[in-house]
Amino acid sequence: MKKKIYGVAGFPVLHSRSPEMFNRLFKNTENIYTRFSSNNPKEIIKIIKDLGISGLNITTPLKEVIIEYIDYSSDDVVRTKAVNTIVYRDGALYGYNTDPAGVSNSILKKGINVRGKKSVVIGSGGAGRAAVCGLQDLGSKVYLTNRTGKKLDYYSELLNCDYFKINEIQDQIKKADIVVNTAPFSLVKSVLKKMNGNQVLFNADYKEEIDIKLNPILIDGLSWLLYQGAYSYKIFFKEEPDLQQMEDSIRKVNREKNQKKIILMGFMGSGKSTLGRYLGKISGKKWIDSDNFIELLTGKKIEDIFYQDGEGKFRKIEEKVLVDLLRIKKYPIISVGGGAVINKLNRILFKSNAINIWVWCSVNKIEERLMSGKRPLITKKSDIKRYYSNRIGFYGEVADIVIPNTRDIKEVSKRIKMELDWE
């Protein structure tokens, strides 16, 4: 059975906890969920169609700009002018926005009644507009503001809510029963820290620590993530998810992996070695290519090992070399051969010991590159699509993040550095 790929797309996206939330539910199924790093909607649409992705969650900065590529939009997309969930079915792209439900269900599950009460939403981006809609669905009177004042009148009319300029925020928050903040917390903390125990503060960003001494009732961004994710799951599979499993997974994330090695994997011809070499150069970290290491170890070219000893022999050598390279501290960045992921032990080792980056190129671009040279296993054009199709599920299973290698190598390397939060 062919594996179905789901994921979350945006930039930066390595911090997203959505994969933990969905993969907990996907255990013992043929579904996999990973991250796609891109700020370009055309790039994401191309990936969806090239890989046959079944569904994607969409995050910053793609929620608004990706709308024009959607074939069918739900009512919540029309209301908010933003998409956060895409289903690819029968060659068409269906767009949804589960964020309003994420907001309203977070409030309801906390036992808070906002009907007839005043709410303030800080930020008019996709998240802010979704918050307005979610609060309105619960019967709250909503006031919108943003830090720049730009287009507030437009969004107020679009969402049928009131608005105020940021210089009024202190007085408006004093009168509010609930405040939903979608702006960087550090930029509005001086005002929010004056909220008291009779008020509710809902902070969208689950990565930021909140410390307010007057103890308003707090709803954190993980709650929003949970309930919008649960609604996405229902859209993907037409059934309710196990909420407890989803919540357990996102509140117990182990970030130790961020200190481990970087594996660059992907199909032959996707540019893993070129990218690894340049990434090592600009980061000051040592890089090695596992195929090059095998050639040094055996004194043979990779294609000669394949032709003289067979693929089985090569895979045994490759497995031993990868075990050694993952143990040796000298090389923090490792580019691995295109077929390394077909070995189950390799996949287990990668997932346990590294941040795994799937370097993606479209199959058409790979065909252009490979047919002009000589590669083991590739004797005709049809071989490329066959091997490519067979390995997609393995790459998706292992990958912590997918980096499209469709731009200048310097730009792609810079994107990786930002995702990894390297200085």
pLDDT at 372: 67
pLDDT at 296: 94
pLDDT band at 240 (very low <50, low <70, confident <90, very high): very high
pLDDT band at 210 (very low <50, low <70, confident <90, very high): confident
pLDDT band at 1 (very low <50, low <70, confident <90, very high): low
pLDDT band at 40 (very low <50, low <70, confident <90, very high): very high
Annotated catalytic residue within 42, 46, 63, 351:
63
The mean pLDDT of 126-152, rounded to a whole number, is 95
Q: How far apart are alpha carbons 384 and 78 in whole angstroms?
A: 41
The pTM for the full model equals 0.93
Q: Is 76 exposed, middle or buried (0-12, 13-18, 19+ CB in 10 A)?
A: buried
Q: Where in the chain is the domain with CATH 3.40.50.10860?
A: 4-97+225-251
pLDDT band at 382 (very low <50, low <70, confident <90, very high): confident
Which superfamily does 101-219 belong to? Answer: NAD(P)-binding Rossmann-like Domain (3.40.50.720)
Q: How far apart are alpha carbons 357 and 266 in whole angstroms?
A: 8
pLDDT at 57: 98
How far, CA to CA in Å, does 276 sit from each of 2, 107, 135, 284, 323?
A: 30, 46, 47, 12, 19
3 is catalytic: no
- Give the least confident one: 56-70, 178-192, 282-296: 178-192
Q: Which amino acid is at 155?
A: Y
Q: Which ranges constitute the DSSP H helices of 200-342? A: 221-237, 243-251, 272-283, 290-298, 302-309, 311-327
Q: Which amino acid is at 272?
A: K
- pLDDT greater than 80 at residue 259: no
pLDDT at 211: 75
pLDDT tens sequence across 154-180: 999 999 999 999 999 999 999 999 999
Is the backbone peptide bond immediately before 404 cis, with ω within 30 degrees of 0?
no
Q: Given this structure, which CATH class describes domain 256-420?
A: alpha beta
Q: Which position has the higher pLDDT, 255 or 333?
A: 333
pLDDT band at 10 (very low <50, low <70, confident <90, very high): very high
- pLDDT greater than 70 at residue 373: no
Q: Where in the chain is the domain with CATH 3.40.50.720?
A: 101-219
- Give the least confident one: 293-307, 357-371, 401-415: 357-371
- pLDDT greater than 90 at residue 402: yes
Cβ atoms 341, 394 nearer than 8 A: yes
pLDDT at 374: 65
Cβ atoms 133, 159 nearer than 8 A: yes
pLDDT band at 253 (very low <50, low <70, confident <90, very high): low
pLDDT at 256: 52
pLDDT at 406: 86
pLDDT at 367: 82
67 phi and psi angles, rounded to 5 deg = -55, -40
Residue 150 C-beta-side C-alpha neighbours within 13 Å: 3
- pLDDT greater than 90 at residue 255: no
Q: How far apart are alpha carbons 342 and 370 in whole angstroms?
A: 20
Q: How far apart are alpha carbons 367 and 293 in whole angstroms?
A: 26
Q: Which fold has domain 4-97+225-251?
A: Rossmann fold (3.40.50)
Q: Where in the chain is the domain with CATH 3.40.50.300?
A: 256-420
pLDDT at 104: 98
pLDDT at 363: 85
Q: Which amino acid is at 32?
A: I
